[in-house]
Structure 1
Amino acid sequence: MSKIDVSSPRCYTTSVSRFASSQQRYHRMMFANFTKLIPLKNLSRCGVSAVSHTSKRSARFFHSTVSRKAYEDEKAVLDEMTSQLPEEDVKRASRLRNIGISAHIDSGKTTFTERVLYYTGRIKAIHDVRGRDGVGAKMDHMDLEREKGITIQSAATYCSWEKEGQDYHFNLIDTPGHIDFTIEVERALRVLDGAVLVVCAVAGVQSQTVTVDRQMKRYNVPRVTFINKMDRMGANPWRAIEQINSKLKMAAAAIQVPIGAEKELQGVVNIIDNQAVYFEGSQGEKLRIEKEIPADLKDLVAEKRATLVETLADVDDEIAECFLDEVEPTVEQIKSAIRRATIARKFTPVLMGSALANRGIQPVLDAVCDYLPNPSEVLNTALDISNDETPVNLVPSSSLPTVALAFKLEEGKYGQLTYLRVYQGKLKKGSMITHVKSGKKVKVARLVRMHSEDMEDVDQIGTGEICATFGIDCASGDTFTDGQVDYSMSSMFVPDAIPKGRSNFPCSLR
């Protein structure tokens, strides 16, 4: 057992190996019951510093050494807030997901996003990422992006997905994978509630996968994982999952088993409910679900299901009790445990397929609905400048004073475009908002939803939504309110710039 540092702001017992024997797990659970410690400071999800050495109206910058609260303590606050929300706000938030697509360069993020937009009906046809079809992927709209086949700047869009008769609304941001554009990932993850981590089935966890994982942990963003390129020669999802556990230090287990290998990839088996899903049609748009799984996969499915239950037992109390009592958990128990552990950032469910071959995308959308949090399940905190910078929890209700964060600036066709995430209250076209840093009031002359480079004008944006507006003089990380409150949120982490001259590098011999 690791030594406990009681002087740390966040102090609790650290876990031993996730793959310990049942006896070790039992003793660890018993020990945890007597040594359970809780964080000592009430800090925000985004690492807001308790003391500012600059003007009280300056932006609050991210401080990487400040610990965030453990999710168990956050949940107690969230449950209390949710219980006081109007039913309309709860219902609306439950169907909203703010997610990002992140990965190492050339792992298939934009190809994956293109399929998401197609299957949700947001676009009418699938186009090539490099623009060889004369059109190009929707999210890579810059000529240079299509020429090089990489994402240079993050792009936002929105779409809807129907699951079990319920319509879910996604605000989606496709992020770059190249290290040169990592600030775009920082900006996006700062305002997102969840993410899809794309991992190559051949290369596994790569350098930028580690970087993206660190960024997700920095902003406490839960994720589901999609192992892409399962149709490639040498694809090995089990090696990739092992690397997620070992290199990223994140408990991960497959919830699917592939049907077929490499070019023979036909579908997946959902190991939670033991159903086979086949992807048919010219674009993989038709799903055929069979209750009988292929006979040659039954042993593998049973093995991976046991691994899933064992991994969940390490991160969820209910499954741990079933595991120790040698009771097989039900389908609903497993799904609930996956959701709890994923939102608590203790676990990531792993799905697999091939975006280019149109295999496995729809189950990922279902997983986003099932396992990633909605805005009311994420604790966001601001500083009350009028009250000695006291931390306050932002409530995801449209009836409360407006608090929004500008997370990205872009030079558009009609001037500077400012991307905003509304954390509390709502934004209306024509309304006046206050720039907290300067104290100036500005008018929201135009309010739009972004679909890559396209815009859709709207009259109002509710809490938890992402939008953009024109004509606002600000910087990334600035906070806006409706003037009723004087709150400031933390900015995003900005990496140090790389020196231009070789002699400026720390390892230089000069």
Structure 2
Amino acid sequence: MLNLGILAHVDAGKTSLTERLLHSAGVIDELGSVDDGSTRTDTLSLERRRGITIKSAVVSFVVGGDVAVNLIDTPGHPDFIAEVERVLDVLDGAVLVVSAVEGVQPQTRILMRTLQRLRIPVLIFVNKIDRRGAHDGRVLRNIREKLTPAALPMGAARALGTRKAGFVPYGEALREGAGAGSGRGLAELLAENDEELLAAYVEDEAGLSHERLREQLAVQSRQGLVHPLFFGSAITGAGVGALTAGIRELLPSTEGDGDGPVSGRVFKVERAAGGRQIAYVRMYSGTVRVRDRLPFGEDDEGKITGIEFFEQGSAVRRTSATAGQIGRFRGLDGVRIGDTVGPARGSSRGVHHFAPPTLETVVSPCLPGDKGTLHAALTEVAEADPLIGLRQDELRGEISLSLYGEVQKEVVQATLADEYGVDVTFRESTTICIERPAGTGAAVETMHKEPNPFLATVGLRIDPAPPGSGVGYGLEVELGSMPYAFMRAVEETVRETLREGLHGWQVTDCKVTMTHSGYAPRQSHAHAVFDKSMSSTGADFRQLTPLVLMEALKRAGTTVHEPVHHFRLEIPAETFGTVLPVLSQLRAVPRAPATEGASYLLEGEMPAANIHALEQQLPPLTSGEGVLECAFSHYRPVAGALVPSRSRTDHDPLNRKEYLLRVVRRVAGA
């Protein structure tokens, strides 16, 4: 079994390649078309209308008669990077599609860096060799410069830019590295990663047989050390046969232990008719059967009522799913993307491979009576897309969404209208900042001592942590110093409270430590009736923790950081003097320009808030010839006296009097 991802920049031809692979394997009799909306994997009506992939889809086929492949087609548009993110953890290998006309594009670079960081083996397919403007040598150099120097052509393209364009595998000539722009040969490239091969290469290059090199190629490809590259066309089928053979020979299939403990991961959740959840689970070990009770997430459990897995292009009902397979499980109500299933359950929801969304918008129903329906619909949408952060402002009756871009906003709007019958409008998108602690702060409140009105003692300290580390939590009290439920209530409330810091932004890159704890044991009257006024409850800890934490945060102080993008801008040389002042106005910090023929190449950093303005101004400034690439780089402290803030959606624990009036309807000492 091989779980294979197809990844690319938008319009590079991923979905067309998926169709061609299915057709070549005999799964479908007729090729679908992205333009006609008839492909197997783009099943949503919105995908068919727009001609882009929005949701990941799983199909299956068999290669070589003995290797079953679960192929996962993913979106290419950067606004839907969350769909790609959740798929990465379940892949055995990937095919990265690059256009022979456009070459390496911004999203291609982001995807390749992530695949390499996760050590996922990658084959590269240079698509569209039949298109006018297709080039092999230039694109190969482009790939080696921007993606990986270990890209190794497995053949040569011929008749580029024509309907007769084809791909000729090298065969024996592979060891010499024949072909346009191929540079180093196979033996030299493989010897860099294998000492025995290096010795044989140095001492007696002629003694390296084709069979030995081919065997080493497969080993190193499966380890992600080299990246075999194929040229072809998904539309005409050129090169797809060689790619299919490469998928079978050069990527690792997985068996797994079907008799081991059950372990799997949820990477997609959808709803069936009637609203019941269907969880897509990659099984790593063990076997799950219908009617099994299966633990998942942190403390949940469900009874499996149905299992389907993918076979020859269709989802087939089965009574069990075993290690290595991707199954669709019914019965896990409440499951979420990122949950692990099985006895060693947990969650990977906090682990992100790509940058978080940097835009936020307020969504409102066109009809005031649709508010309840809108909230329920958005809850389901966010459930299927965890990186759409749903932020409910009870005080103002508003719902905010965090998004990657304007296209994603359009898709959410269409989804709400088509699937839920709710028409909505959006406010103008704003940039999402974060807060980081400026120093260390601590606070403690003890029960039975003013001004604490709760039957709980909580002490917390907050310390800065390295950028990118998220929120850590630890104890300086004994775990058994009070019931675990109270300990858990404090930790959960800490993480929830940090969603809004001193300026209203999420607080991150910090460590919170519980320094004091105490509770009133359960007490009853003589007739055994529980007395809440004498005994601590979870609510005491949940309501006190925000006051203690925000007091500690005030003593620590926070700095607001804005998201910054790295940009790469290619413009005609004669427009340089016009574009540079605009970049300055948009607070861009460009590096020294480089010349490329009649063009100038500018790279640098710019606040994410100004990227959209540059995109709008660039076409008229450069007569439509400017090319902008940008991607999230990092967060940096906001400069200037005016610090951006965001309205709070909670009961505002920064204002003790108002908080207590809202939470317990009274103020301590009153």
Q: TM-score w.r.t. structure 1 length?
A: 0.66
Q: Deviations over 1:328-349 (max 9, x none)?
A: 3222212112112212222100
Counterpart of 1:91? Answer: none
Partner residue, 1:145: 47
Structure 1 counterpart of 2:93: 194
Counterpart code for 2:189: T
In structure 2, the residue corresponding to 1:346 is in which secondary structure?
Answer: coil
CA displacement, residues 271-330 of structure 1 (integer Å, 9 cap, x when unaligned): 13359xxxxxxxxxxxxxxxxxxxxxx995498495333222223334423331241322
Distance 1:249 1:305 in 2: 14
When residues 343 and 489 of structure 1 are mapped into structure 2, their CA distance, relative to the original with a 3 A threshold, is farther
> Given the superposition, is the C-alpha separation of residues 107 and 428 from structure 1 closer, same or farther in structure 2, using an over 3 Å criterion?
same
What is the correspondence of 1:110-509 to structure 2 with a 5 Å cutoff? Answer: 110-131=15-36, 136-162=38-64, 166-263=65-162, 265-274=164-173, 300-301=178-179, 304=182, 307-328=185-206, 329-375=208-254, 396-414=256-274, 415-438=276-299, 440-450=300-310, 455-472=315-332, 473-481=334-342, 485-488=343-346, 490-491=348-349, 492-493=351-352, 495-500=355-360, 501-502=429-430, 504=432, 506=562, 507=607
What is the DSSP-based 3-state SS (H/G/I as helix, E as strand, rest coil) of the residue aligned with 1:213?
helix
Which residue of the partner structure matches residue 573 of structure 2?
none
Give the distance between the partners of 2:164 and 2:196, measured in 1 at CA: 35
Distance in structure 2 (CA, Å) of the matches to 1:503 and 1:104: 24
Query: Any conservation in 2 of the 1:201–1:235 contact (CA below 8 Å)?
Result: yes
What percent of counterpart residues are identical?
Answer: 30
Name the CA distance, whole Å, in 1 between partners of 2:125 and 2:133.
17
d(CA) in 2 for partners of 1:200, 1:180: 20
| CA distances 1:134-160 after superposition (whole Å, capped 9, x unpaired) | x61111111211221111110011111
C-alpha distance in structure 2 between counterparts of 1:422 and 1:299, whole Å: 39
Unaligned runs of 5+ in 1: 1-95, 276-297, 377-395
Task: Give me the whole-angstrom Cα distance separating, in 2, the residues matched to 1:113 and 1:469.
Answer: 24
Cα offset, 1:467, TM superposition: 1.1
Return the offset for 1:503.
5.7
Greater relative contact order, per chain length (Cα 8 Å cut-off, separation 6+):
1
Q: CA deviation at 1:369?
A: 1.0
Q: Structure 1 residue 361: deviation in Å?
A: 0.9
Contact 1:271 1:304 in 2 (8 A): no
Tell me if 1:105 matches 2:10.
yes
8 Å CA contact 1:204, 1:240 repeated in 2: yes
Q: Which runs of 5+ in 2 are unaligned?
A: 361-428, 434-561, 563-606, 610-639, 643-670
Give the Cα–Cα distance (whole angstroms) in 2 for the partners of residues 504 and 436 of structure 1. Answer: 28
**Quick one: distance in 1 between partners of 2:141 and 2:30?**
36
Partners of 1:480 and 1:299 in 2: how far apart? 46
SS of 2:47's equivalent in the other structure is helix
User: Which amino acid letter does the alignment assign opposite residue 363 of structure 1?
Assistant: A
Letter in 2 for 1:125: E
Question: Take 2:148 and 2:157, find their aligned partners in 1: how far apart are those partners?
Answer: 24
Question: Cα RMSD over matched residues?
Answer: 2.6
Please give the TM-score of this superposition, normalised by the length of structure 2: 0.51
Residues 1:249 and 1:239: Cα distance change in structure 2 (over 3 Å): same
Maintained 8 Å contact 2:281/2:327:
yes
Distance 1:319 1:103 in 2: 33
- What SS does the aligned partner of 2:205 have? coil
Q: Distance in 1 between matches of 2:149 and 2:48?
A: 34
Matched residue of 1:263: which SS?
coil
In structure 1, distance between residues paired with 2:339 and 2:284: 13
Q: After alignment, is 413-422 or 108-117 more displaced?
A: 413-422
**Structure 2 CA distance for partners of 1:130 and 1:453, relative to 1, 3 Å:** farther
The higher radius of gyration belongs to 2
Q: Distance in 2 between matches of 1:184 and 1:330?
A: 43
CA distance in 2, matches of 1:486, 1:142: 35
Q: Distance in 2 between matches of 1:349 and 1:454?
A: 30
C-alpha spacing 1:487/1:412, structure 2 compared with 1 (3 Å) = closer
Equivalent AA in structure 2 for residue 465 of structure 1: Q
Length, aligned pairs only: 364
Cα distance in 1, alignment partners of residues 67 and 91 from structure 2: 16
Task: Give distance in 1, aligned partners of 2:196 and 2:268.
Answer: 41
CA shift, 1:488, in A, is 3.7
- Determine helix, strand or coil for the equivalent of 2:185: helix
Q: Which moved more, 1:344-353 or 1:246-255?
A: 246-255
1:465, distance to aligned residue in structure 2 (A): 0.7
CA distance in 1, matches of 2:180, 2:107: 33
